[in-house]
Amino acid sequence: MENEGSYVALGLKVWKTQIGRADKLFGSLSSEEVLREIAPGRNRLLYLWGHLTATHDAMLPLLGLGERLHPELDAAFISTPDKSKADIPSHDQVRRAWNVVNAELWKGFEKMSWSDWLARHTAVSEEDFAKDASRNRFAILLSRTNHLSYHLGQAVLGLK
């Protein structure tokens, strides 16, 4: 049991580190800077930020931690590419949603026991989970952390 806690603690530590980097990177941007493209013709920083926020929001039901807080973000940041809509959530809306969603996730993580992480996530049926037990909550944590790192690598290109 002691060892199991170690693995989970490490997964959470890496998540927290990447969230901290994203907080610092996106949090430092002015409302003008957030509209910068990461490279000519590519996604804007605000789009990446909103995309990450929507993805993290969807982790709440996926990990059984509660209802989504900001499902409205998907229309602008998941189902459509950047610059396909004239009207997307504002800098302020994304910043607030980012902070609220990540705080809610962390609150949920802290309540989860070590073995909770090995339980199935809600997008897999009990039947499918019986065939492949790797489709669990810890897998979601690791893959979403890597998703965050992937887009952080891109966002940093838009900084200067």
CA-to-CA dists, residue 122 to 24, 43, 62, 125, angstroms: 31, 30, 5, 7
- DSSP single-letter state for residue 156: G
Query: Which member of 46, 99, 157, 159 binds a second copy (CB under 8 A)?
Result: 157
* 22 binding a second copy? (CB under 8 A): no
Tell me what percent of the chain is helix, strand and coil, each rounded to the nearest 5: 65, 0, 30
Q: Which of 71, 107, 150, 159 binds a second copy (CB under 8 A)?
A: 150
Q: Give which of 159, 113, 123, 114 is closest to 144, Cα–Cα.
A: 123
Q: Which of 24, 30, 32, 40 binds a second copy (CB under 8 A)?
A: 40
- Of 11-19, 63-71, 73-81, 88-96, the segment contacting a second copy by CB under 8 A is 11-19
Half-sphere exposure of 45 (CA within 13 A, CB side): 22
Give 18 or 93: the residue with its C-beta nearer to a second copy. Answer: 18
Binding of residue 132 to a second copy (CB under 8 A): no
**Are the C-beta atoms of 137 and 7 separated by less than 8 Å?**
no
Q: Contact residues for a second copy (CB under 8 A)?
A: 3-4, 6-11, 13-14, 18, 38-40, 42, 114-115, 117-118, 133-134, 136, 138-139, 142-143, 145-147, 149-154, 157
